[in-house]
Amino acid sequence: MTLSVGMLGYRFMGKAHSNAMARLPMFFPDAPAVERDVLIGRDETALEDAADQLGFSRTSTDWRDVVDEVDVFYNLGPNNVHADPSIAALEAGVPVLSEKPLAATLKDAERMADAAENADVPSAVAFNYRYVPAIRYARQLIADGVLGDIHHVRANYLQDWLVDPQAPWSWRNSAEVAGSGALGDLGAHSIDLAQFLLGEDIARVSGHLRTFVDERPVPGADGGGLDAAGSDAVETREVTVDDAYSAQAAFEGGAMGTFEATRFANGQKNAHTIAINGSEGSIRFDLERLNELEVLRGENRGYETVLVTDPDDPYIDHWWPPGHVIGWEHTFIHEDYEFLSAVADGEEYAPSFQDGLSVQRVLDAIERSDETGRWVDV
């Protein structure tokens, strides 16, 4: 059986998933065969070029024309276009993988989760960091009770690509398109990882959001004459999302959580860290060193650094000898392997749209807490 794939979006995530599908047969020979069938976008010229580069057979400028013609639909577009195409695919009986966060708004996320609940096919949210072998190893340590009772979770996601106030405006700066800024783009990953590792949901939150730059130059704008001060005028657009957020959280099992994400952490490129402290031990993980997990066990005086690259570590038997590390792109190969296998076998998949909705509820509660200045139940 060969699964035909339709993909909406062909830039960052489109490249990541197309690369993953191309690598699957070489490293995961038991994966279902995949045909990269139709690539969907708005710019016909750019779309044709992308289809050639990413290995798709045809293109379409309207998802409505093709969403029921494929076996699997990947929705990798901006957050505000996650809902309608994904719901249409599910109603046509087509499994869907959607980028995170699940939607731009809680209302749309609920619509998507309802559609998935009513469809007899798998749904998936692209929380690819679940598929880092060190994260899987950490989750097993927690499940086996190595850390004892969990007391603290601390998660940070730090980037610096918007520190410069002249960095150009993009859809990620628009509440209408993205829903939120660092909160949804980065915080969604941290929140999902925390809930995944502990195996329990966040119950209530207290949040704070901040926007540091209120407007940014429009890409390609050449200016339109002189402003009142006599300098060249440059077209700008308002920033309507957060540049940074922080939150306190209470987990259902009693653990305390602190979360932070920002696009203004000068010197940090993609620093996604999570630390968990329990009564019997602790773990620390840093995405920029994704092959390693720091583990403190029992009476040990300090942390040991475990290189999670042995053949019996999660997914590593598909790759290289011990110590020959894997990278960020491999998380997508693991993710697509699990999702496409679930589709081919007719099995359930996690993280599903319900898992995405769980994260979306936390994001929404953090925003409401910031607005009210109070703790908010999720």
Let me know whether 77 and 110 are in one domain.
yes
* Single residue among 77, 109, 128 that ends a domain in this structure: 128
pLDDT computed for residue 77 by the predictor: 96
List the CATH number of the domain containing 52.
3.40.50.720
Residues 253 and 370 in one domain: yes
Chunked mean pLDDT (size 10), the chain, 378 residues: 96 97 98 98 95 98 97 98 98 98 98 97 98 98 98 98 97 97 98 98 98 94 50 84 98 98 97 98 98 92 96 97 97 98 97 98 98 98
CB contact burial 223-250 (16+ within 10 A = b; e otherwise): eeeeeeeeeeeeeebebbbbbbbbbbbb
Do 100 and 153 belong together in one domain?
Answer: no
Q: Which domain holds residue 359?
A: 132-377
Domains: count for the chain = 2
Predicted local distance difference test score (pLDDT) of residue 2:
96
User: In sequence order, which ranges of the chain are alpha helices (DSSP H)?
Assistant: 12-27, 44-54, 83-91, 106-118, 133-143, 175-178, 182, 188-198, 330-345, 353-372
> 234 and 119 in one domain?
no
Q: Which of 128, 150, 172 is the last residue of a domain?
A: 128
Residues 139 and 279 in one domain: yes
Tokens 């087509």 sit at which residue?
94
Co-location of 356 and 289 in the same domain: yes
Task: Judge if 252 and 137 occupy the same domain.
Answer: yes
Q: Are residues 165 and 211 in the same domain?
A: yes
Domain boundary among 81, 96, 128: 128
Q: In terms of Cα–Cα distance, which of 241, 151, 157, 259 is closest to 205?
A: 259
Q: What are phi and psi of 363, to 5 degrees?
A: -60, -45
CA distance 35 to 33: 7
- Looking at the structure, tell me whether residues 111 and 217 fall in a common domain: no
Domain check: are 181 and 107 in the same one?
Answer: no
Statement to judge: residues 238 and 102 lie in one domain: no
